[in-house]
Structure 1
Amino acid sequence: MQDEKQTALSRRNFLRAFGGASTAAAATVALTPTEALAYDPGTEEMRARYKETEHIKAFYRVNRYPEHK
């Protein structure tokens, strides 16, 4: 009986220690600073895309937006 109780207690302590160590390791990895990389959109993404076509003008007119010039 004493051996069973001692074995169960050591397993329980092992699992507590293992759980605490894995949580600490995960927190360490999450808090480790890394170098941020800048995003370069390139020339294709920087070009102007908005064109005020007739259907856009009609949308503004129907929805009573102030007139764009």
Structure 2
Amino acid sequence: MSKPSDGKSRTTGVDRRSLFLMGGSAVAAAAVVPLAGSEAIADESQAERLKARYKETDHVKNFYRVNRY
């Protein structure tokens, strides 16, 4: 059986609230670091950016028919 609380809290090391605050600060700092890097390089060439991408295939037509677009 557990002992009744005497009103005194135990403080050993880091409490739960401080742990979450430190974790949140670490996540925010980690999110800022990549933003400070160099410019991003495009993954596709100019020709790939200009080519047509949308094709109305039978699969797409069936989707439109079923969903009544």
- Please give the range of the TM-score, normalised by the shorter of the 2 chains: 0.3 to 0.5
- TM-score w.r.t. structure 1 length? 0.41
Give the greater-gyration-radius structure (CA): 1
- TM-score w.r.t. structure 2 length? 0.41
